[in-house]
Structure 1
Amino acid sequence: MTTKSFPYSAFLRGPSQVLPSLDDADVVLERRDDEDLVLMRAERFEAGVATLRIAARSLAILARRNSSLAEEVLTEELPWTTWLPLTERHECVRDLLGHLVAGADTGELLPFSRALISWRSTAVVWSDPQLARELQGPFPGDGAEISRPLGEDA
C-alpha cells in the first residue's frame, strides 16, 4: 500500500483536501513538534491486524513444532541473530515470537518493537568479541559501598 504525506495543518484547515487520498493510500499527517499521525480506512487497518495475527500465530505454531526451522526463518529475516550465542539465539526467538503473538492478538506492537531493538543491540555487542568480554565481567566493584535498604523483610 502506498502512502501520501500531508502537513497536519493542511488536514486541520481542510480535511476534504486530504481525505480523498484515503481511496488509494494511507495518509501520513506530518506534525512539526510531535510524532506523525497515520490515517487509513478501517477496512485496511482490520485487514492488516487480521493478517498479522494469522502470520504471528502460524510462526508460533511452527516454532513449537519445529524450533530449528522457526529459528532458521527468523535468522534469515533478522540476519543479525547470527551474532548471538546459540543459547541466546533460542531465547531471542522465543521472546520475539511471544511478543509478536501477544501484539498481534492485542494490537499493541510496541513491546515487540522494543524487544526487537533490544535484541538487535545485544547482537551488536556480541559481534565485538572485546566488548562482549568486557561486559561479561568480572567487574572491579571499587565503587562506594552502600547499605542494604531496610524493607518489610529486614
Structure 2
Amino acid sequence: MGATREVQWSELQRDPKSVAALADTGDVRVRRRDGAALLLMREDRVSAAGEGAFTAARALRNVLTHLPLEVAAAALTEEFPWLSLLPVEELPQFIADFTRSAQIAAEVGQWSVLAQTVREWRATAAVYADPSLLRRLTEPLTDDYGPVPTPMEVDDDAG
C-alpha cells in the first residue's frame, strides 16, 4: 500500500476517476474548505485493517496477561510516561482496562473506546501529580450539601 495522497474536494468533483485510481494505490485524504478532511479508501483494505486490528488487540491482551506486572507496566510506561505518576497498586487495573478497551475497540471498530480509557487514566495520573487536588478529592466530606435530587427532578428543572 502506498502513502496517503491528498487531493482537494474540487479535484474529486472534477475528475472522480483519477481520484478513484489513486485510492487503488493507497488512501486518499480529500481536503475541504468548509469541513474536516475525508479519507477515501478501498473497502477491502478497511476490512483487512479491521481484522488486523482485532488480531493485534487479542495478541496484545494475551501478551500483557502473561507478562509479569513489572514488565508489562514498564513496557506501557515507555508509551505512556504519565503512568509513573500512578501508585503501583493502580497499575494492574490500568493494564486490565487498557487491554480490555483495546480488544473492545478492535471488535466494534470504534477506537474512541480505547482513546477514552487512556484519557481517563491520564486524568487520574494528573490528579495524583497534584497533591492538593488529590487531597481535596479523597478527603471525607464533612459538610451537608443537602438532599441530592433524583435524575427526574434534574430533568424537570432543565426543561
Place the TM-score, normalised by the shorter chain, in its bin: 0.7 to 0.9
| TM-score, structure 2 as length reference | 0.75
Letter in structure 2 aligned against 1:26: D
Tell me how many residue pairs correspond in the alignment: 150
Does 2:19 correspond to 1:18? yes
Q: Which residue of 1 aligns with 2:58?
A: 57
Aligned equivalents of 2:16 and 2:141: distance in 1? 59
Q: 1:85-133 deviations in whole A, cap 9, x for unaligned?
A: 1222221111111011122223222211111122122212222222222
5+ residue gaps, structure 2? 153-159
Contact 1:3 1:27 in 2 (8 A): yes
Does 2:75 correspond to 1:70? no
5+ residue gaps, structure 1? none
Does 2:152 correspond to 1:127? no
Letter in structure 2 aligned against 1:135: L
Letter in structure 2 aligned against 1:8: W
Letter in structure 2 aligned against 1:38: L
2:103 to 98, 101, 104: 101
Aligned equivalents of 1:108 and 1:150: distance in 2? 29
Aligned equivalents of 1:150 and 1:77: distance in 2? 40
Q: Which residue of 1 aligns with 2:155?
A: none
Letter in structure 1 aligned against 2:7: F
Could you say what secondary structure the match of 1:37 adopts? strand
Q: Which residue of 2 aligns with 1:5?
A: 6
Aligned equivalents of 2:7 and 2:127: distance in 1? 39
| TM-score, structure 1 as length reference | 0.77
Q: Percent identity of the aligned residues? A: 31
Q: Which residue of 1 aligns with 2:112?
A: 110
* 1:13-52 matches, cutoff 5 A: 13-52=14-53
Instruction: Provide the aligned C-alpha RMSD in A.
Output: 2.7
Contact 1:59 1:70 in 2 (8 A): no
- Structure with bigger helix share is 2
What displacement does 1:137 show? 2.8
Could you say what secondary structure the match of 1:146 adopts? coil
Could you say what secondary structure the match of 2:140 adopts? coil
Aligned equivalents of 1:76 and 1:14: distance in 2? 45
Aligned equivalents of 1:109 and 1:150: distance in 2? 30
Aligned equivalents of 1:146 and 1:108: distance in 2? 39
